[in-house]
A and B are shown apart, each in its own frame.
Chain A
Amino acid sequence: MQKNKVYPWYFALGSVLIYTVLSVVPGLLGIGYSFTDWSAYSPDLHFIGFKNFFAVFSGENDYLRYITNTVWFTIVTVIAKTGLGLLFAVALSRNIKWKNFHRGILYLPSVLPILVTGLVFTSILNPKTGFLNEFLRTIGLDFLAKKWLVDPKIAFGSVMAVDIWRGTGYIMTLLIAGILAIPDIYYEAAAIDGANAWQRFRYITLPMLRQTLAVTIVLNVIYGLKIFDMVYALTNGGPGHRTEVLYTAVYKMMSKGLYAEGTTISSVLFIFMVIIGYFMVKILTKDEVVE
């Protein structure tokens, strides 16, 4: 059987073409334009070398902070979602009543539009009229009632918290599937040997979950570095760029006509992601059946 005749190359054409034109080409073009003074104010383009990149990394303006904010957002949410997700997954995988109810509810936020979640939380976190502060005042914890999205010190933490609220159930779901794939026999053997709950978790669940954990972390990192909707809806980068992440910054630069700056910080992320992405994709595609 001639494989190239039975499985013709043009079957892959549509997907590869559209993906290339609308995803890869803009990314590569972007790197090229990073070396120019492209803007909305002048029709001419000039080659200016690494000037845009120096501008980003010299720290003279806020550009570098948008990148570090994005990285911080990713690190904190990945750790929190993975930790909480693991805790809930262990609690909800076996021997608990109403487990399908809990699982269904916890997963629910991740199917809702991120933007809508953000909008709803602008009301809940409103300092004066928001549900959270009203509730805290009702139970006598007035001192905990903060200006969640307005106070520069805690605004970014609040944004991360909402994102953790949204994404933990999804991680939990993946980890539950991973836990349920561990053969019961291990736990039975451990019980006979007198292992307690912590030991069973530490020496069976955790090592057997390594691949699933790696995948969830990769998926979360990809999600975190590309975050936009959540920040845009909650704070739009404010107060004073404190919560500005890469994609909200690019959106503002675009509307100001600062194309070269926008494409430069996008390209920094693009190059970074392609390099680490190669290893991430290796993790995602690991253990795939190969005949």
Chain B
Amino acid sequence: MVYTTKNKFVQILLKNILAWFASLLVIIPLLLVVLNAFKADGETLNMNLQLPKQWIFSNFSTVAEKGKLARSFVNSMLYAGIGTIITVFFASMAAYVFSRRRTKGMERLYMYVVLGMVIPVNYVTLTKTMLTLHLTNTYPGIILLYMAMQTPFTVFLIYGFVSKIPVELDEAAIIDGCSPIQLYVRIVFPMLKSAIITAGVLCFLNCWNEFMMPLYFLHSSNKWPMTLAIYNFFGQYEMKWNLICADVILTCAPVLILYLVCQKYIVGGQTAGAVKG
């Protein structure tokens, strides 16, 4: 018995050392960004963990002004917000039909859509497609691209939830005289609420963090989202790490807040696809 308790103690000790080591490895770079965001201009030639000699809160307003971040923030909100709403709206309807009508054809169509999680984008011909459709350098262009990219995973995620809603509900509603649209809007959609929120949060995160589509398809700086804005700011002010760190914080703030508030949904959604209980 003495042996096993000692053994257990060593095990717990090792586990804790490992956990703290890993957490520190993640915390230090984040702390580095936060501390340096408040330092004065000359202090950040090399970023270190010393506290700022003087806390300069105006770094944030400086960077917002120089990097035109107010505009970019609104742009990012529009791209990610509208992109999320239309993606989730259409994807949930598609997932519902795929899940309810299990014919051979519909199953193939579902596989065809879900295959989109895997297939890579061909940016060369996508550029041609976007030009042909007159979508390059436009707000609808980016929003539709985000929808195309996020649809497969969103359909996949919601599909799993639809099958948990009993079909008997649909039958009852139809007998009571519901039209297909009423059935979906009044009965099914409310029951999918938690799936919709999960899919929506994940979709928003991905769209907010997206960088490549704007890089390829947005040429005028007044349409740039936060990610593209920070990349260009970084190019212009390469040595001013205090300002870059402030920009990093402003760019990450919305996703961090979303993460803190919706952790349950984010982790739940990511694991729903992976773990089948």
Would you mind naming 25 contact pairs between A and B with Cβ atoms under 8 Å apart?
A: A4-B101, A14-B86, A15-B93, A15-B151, A16-B94, A19-B148, A23-B119, A29-B125, A87-B18, A88-B19, A105-B23, A105-B26, A113-B226, A116-B252, A119-B244, A123-B47, A177-B274, A177-B275, A178-B271, A178-B275, A250-B123, A250-B124, A251-B215, A253-B124, A289-B164
- The answer to whether A3 touches B101, judged by C-beta atoms less than 8 angstroms apart, is yes
Are A7 and B100 CB-contacts (below 8 A) given A21-B148, A105-B27, A130-B46? yes
Which of A98, A108, A228, A233 is packed against the most chain B CB atoms within 10 Å? A108
Give complex CA distance A70, B85 in Å: 34
Say yes or no: A116 contacts B32, CB within 8 Å.
no
Q: Of residues 241 to 277 in B, which have CB atoms within 8 Å of A's CB atoms?
A: 241, 244-245, 248, 251-252, 255-256, 258-259, 263, 266-267, 270-271, 273-277
Of all chain A residues, which has the CB nearest B98? A12
Contacts of A173 in B (CB 8 A): 267, 270-271
A240 within 8 A of B: no
Contact B91 A178 (CB under 8 A): no
Question: Are A281 and B115 interface neighbours, CB within 8 A?
Answer: yes
A181 to B101, CA, bound (A): 30
> Contact mask B120-150 → A, CB, 8 Å, 1/0?
1111111111000100000000001101110
B180, A6: Cβ atoms closer than 8 Å: yes
Shortest Cβ distance from A166 into chain B, in angstroms?
Answer: 9
In contact, B125 and A33 (Cβ under 8 angstroms):
yes
Whether A263 touches B124, Cβ cut-off 8 Å, given contacts A15-B93, A101-B23, A212-B275, is: yes
Q: Is the CB of A120 within 8 A of B115?
A: no
**The stretch of B53-61, B66-74, B152-160, B191-199 that contacts the partner chain:** B152-160
A26 to chain B, nearest CB (A): 4
CA distance A16 to B109 in the complex (A): 8
A46 within 8 Å of B by Cβ?
Answer: no
Give chain A nearest CB distance to B239 CB in angstroms: 9
The answer to whether A178 touches B208 (Cβ under 8 A) is no
B18 touches A91 (CB 8 A): yes
CA distance A243 to B260 in the complex (A): 35
**0 or 1 for each of B43-56: is its CB under 8 Å from A? (1 = yes):** 00111110000000
Give A15-34 as 1s and 0s: 1 = Cβ < 8 Å from B's Cβ atoms.
Answer: 11011011111110110010
B63: Cβ under 8 A from any A Cβ = no
| Chain B, Cβ-Cβ closest to A104 | B263
Enumerate chain A residues within 8 angstroms of B111, measured Cβ to Cβ: 281, 285
A residues with CB within 8 A of B: 1, 3-9, 11-12, 14-16, 18-19, 21-27, 29-30, 33, 87-88, 91-92, 95-99, 101-102, 104-109, 111-116, 119-121, 123-124, 126, 128-131, 134, 165, 169-170, 173-174, 177-178, 181, 197, 211-212, 215-216, 219, 222, 225-226, 228-229, 232-233, 247, 250-251, 253-254, 259, 262-263, 266-267, 269-270, 273-274, 276-278, 280-281, 284-291
Question: A16-B113, A274-B118 known; A266 and B184 CB under 8 Å?
Answer: no
Q: Check B97–A12 contact: CB distance below 8 A.
A: yes
B180-A119 in contact (CB<8A) = no
- List chain A residues, Cβ under 8 A from B119: 23-24, 27, 270, 273-274, 277
CB neighbours of B40 from chain A (8 A): none
Would you call B251 and A22 a contact (CB within 8 A)? no
A95 contacts B12, C-beta separation under 8 Å: yes
Residue of A nearest to B266 (CB): A111
User: Would B18 and A88 count as touching, CB distance under 8 A?
Assistant: yes
Across the interface, do B212 and A30 meet the contact criterion of CB distance under 8 Å? no
With A30-B125, A134-B46, A290-B102 given, name 20 new contacts (CB 8 A). Answer: A11-B93, A14-B86, A22-B144, A22-B147, A23-B119, A24-B116, A96-B12, A106-B22, A111-B256, A111-B258, A116-B230, A124-B47, A131-B48, A165-B25, A173-B267, A229-B212, A266-B122, A267-B122, A273-B118, A291-B163
Cβ of B77 within 8 Å of any chain A Cβ, yes or no, is no
Interface residues of B in 161-213 (CB under 8 A from A): 163-164, 167, 170-171, 174, 180, 183-184, 205, 208-209, 211-212
Residues in A neighbouring B274, C-beta threshold 8 A: 174, 177-178, 212, 215-216, 219
Chain A residue at smallest Cβ distance from B238: A122
**Which residue of A is nearest B135, CB measured?**
A22
> B231 and A119: CB pair below 8 A?
yes
Contact A270 B122 (CB under 8 A): yes
Chain A neighbourhood of B271, CB < 8 A: 173-174, 177-178
Complex CA gap A96/B32 in Å reads: 27
- Interface residue B221 (Cβ < 8 Å from any Cβ of A): no
A253 to B49 Cα, complex, angstroms: 40
Give the 7 A-B CB pairs with smallest separation, nearest first.
A277-B118, A22-B148, A30-B122, A14-B90, A129-B46, A177-B271, A113-B209
Q: Is B227 an interface residue (CB 8 A)?
A: yes
Most A C-beta atoms less than 10 A away, residue of B118, B160, B171, B248: B118
Question: Inside 8 A of B127's CB, which chain A residues have their CB?
Answer: 254
Report the Cα distance A126→B27, complex, angstroms.
19
Whether A270 and B120, one on each chain, are in contact in the complex, defined by CB atoms closer than 8 angstroms, is yes
Residues on the B chain within 8 Å of A291, using CB = 102, 163, 167
